[in-house]
Amino acid sequence: MNYSHTFPKTGKTYGHRNFFLQRRYRKYYIIFLLAICLYILKPTIISVFATPTRPLSIEIVHAKHVPVDLFVMSKCPDALACEKALAPVFNQLHELVDIRTNYLASRNSAQPYACMHGSTECAGNRYQLCASHWVTSYASHAENYNLFYRFILCQNKDVSSIGEAEAANQCLLSSGFLPAAAQEIISCANGNLGQELMEKSMDYCRSQNVSVSCTVKIGSSECIIDGGKWNKECPGGGTTLGFWHLICDTFVAATGEPMPQICSDESFLNLGKGDNKKLSSRKIIN
């Protein structure tokens, strides 16, 4: 088949290729080729110039962080002592750890669950779970510690107010949460999401065979404080230095990386020398 075109003014006949290369049509031919190229390269262009998106929690759950699971009850005396006593360790090593709090409760035929220290403890659990859920969704890893753990420590200053909406709101604001975020967390705790988070947390505790508050799991190690005393199997015997070295050693074993410089911070190590401070309210908490 002969593809050709005859121009009426000149009477000249051109082949299909020459027809498109005439000056009169050349610009349309170039535009046509550019359009095809742009269509083919569209995915690549978008990936290069578009604003990259990422999962909101990518900085929180990170391969370079050691998971530290705390199994607690928001009004449990051992949990309060455990959380505050671990604070100086987390304050120094928060870049290495992924702190996760899990809340113990029991199934109840009349209600979805029951808490050992009453309904206000259940509410306190939900406020803390919703705060954790918020920072996991919207905050960076550093903010996860700075905001969430400070909120827990603030709540622990007045155990009697744990579970009260106004007290939770005040602690959220004083810990650095913006008012809008604080309101979201309060609404979460008093809504369906808070109930869902509590039930999932309770089921997770059961799946890990944990029944004592406070239980700390770091790597394959499990430390339990019950009645103010740590279990004998806890590496370091529940001391500040014991947890410090456990986290650092677990980080190296899990990542295969050299010991982080922060793990040799003598200014912190000196805190544990001499009296070998115990991680309990009797030794650490002012």
Q: Coil, strand, or helix at residue 4?
A: strand
pLDDT at 75: 97
Q: Provide the 10 A C-beta neighbour count for residue 29.
A: 13
Tokens of 243: 């947890």
Give me the pLDDT at residue 255, please: 87
CATH classification number, 66-272, choose in 3.40.30.10, 3.90.1200.10, 2.40.10.10, 1.20.1530.20: 3.40.30.10
pLDDT of 142 reads 65
Where residue 236 falls (left for φ over 0; alpha for ψ -120 to 50; beta otherwise) is: left
List the domain boundaries for the chain: 4-49, 66-272
Question: Taking the chain (286 residues) in consecutive chunks of 10 residues, what is each chunk's mean pLDDT?
Answer: 50 52 63 72 47 31 76 96 87 89 86 90 97 86 80 96 98 96 97 96 95 95 94 86 91 90 74 48 32
Q: Give the pLDDT of residue 164.
A: 98
